[in-house]
Amino acid sequence: MKRKRPIAAWKLVAVFGAAMAFLCLPAVLAVAGVDDVRETPRSRAVVEAQTASLRGALAEEGLRLGAPVYLRLTKEPAELTAYVANAEGVYEPFRSWPVCAFSGELGPKRAEGDMQAPEGFYSVAPGQMNAASDYHLAFNLGFPNAYDRAQGRTGSYLMVHGDCVSIGCYAMTDDAIEEIWTLMQAAMEEGQRSVPVHIFPFPMTAANLQRHAGDPNAAFWRSLAPAWEAFEDTGHVPVVRVSDGDYEVLPAS
């Protein structure tokens, strides 16, 4: 299936030196499991300001604000792309934003304090949305997930947030996180129970995997590749579960 290429919406801003002065902890961590996004005056103002322009931009692509959303992030290039489901349920690329900053290098997060940003398959429910973050707006990725726990990996408060500075999280510009937040909140308000967020070191092409075949993380990265390939082939977000401590990728139900 021929897919449209994502369109980058913002210029890349490199902010790594200043990042070391900040921690990734939010001011208030939203309680996971609640059914609705907990709003603040700031987040309400953001949604009000962003809704009309996003609705119009989506309509130009034949898409709708409030339809299900899927987020895919790569470290190299440092980019987050939002996909939105069309009327047939196929996810189409809507908009891409550069990641302003993330700490560490290619490879998964293994331990609290290692300054690595995570890689793998995560899911964001309404209770993980934090409108009171010190970093403008934030959502908790839910690290460690079941796979991370099976591997003995530790860490906490791993976020995608604004303010363009971070240690261990993925930092966006405030403008970018406002658009991402509005897309996610609208989808949740229309019934999406959680937004899948898949994080890869790089696009999972055969050429890239071969280029990194000698890396100590190569086996882990190969375990991520089937989910990338399944989405590229079908436009449907695959089901990812953990079986015997390993990721297992199933066709979308």
Q: Hey, which residues are catalytic here?
A: 161, 169
- Do 241 and 250 meet the contact criterion of CB atoms below 8 Å apart? yes
Alpha-carbon span 63 to 61, nearest angstrom: 5
3-class secondary-structure state, position 129:
strand
Q: Where are the beta strands (DSSP E) in 21-150?
A: 69-74, 79-85, 91-98, 101-102, 120-124, 129-130, 138-140
- Do 234 and 3 meet the contact criterion of CB atoms below 8 Å apart? no
Triad 107, 4, 249: Cα angle to 5°: 45
Q: How many CB atoms lie within 10 A of CB 21?
A: 8
What are the Cα distances from residue 113, in Å, to 109, 136, 157, 169? Answer: 9, 23, 11, 12
Instruction: Report H helices in 133-217.
Output: 146-150, 174-189, 206-211
Q: Residue holding tokens 């609640």?
A: 34
Name the pairing type of β-strands 170-171 and 159-161: parallel
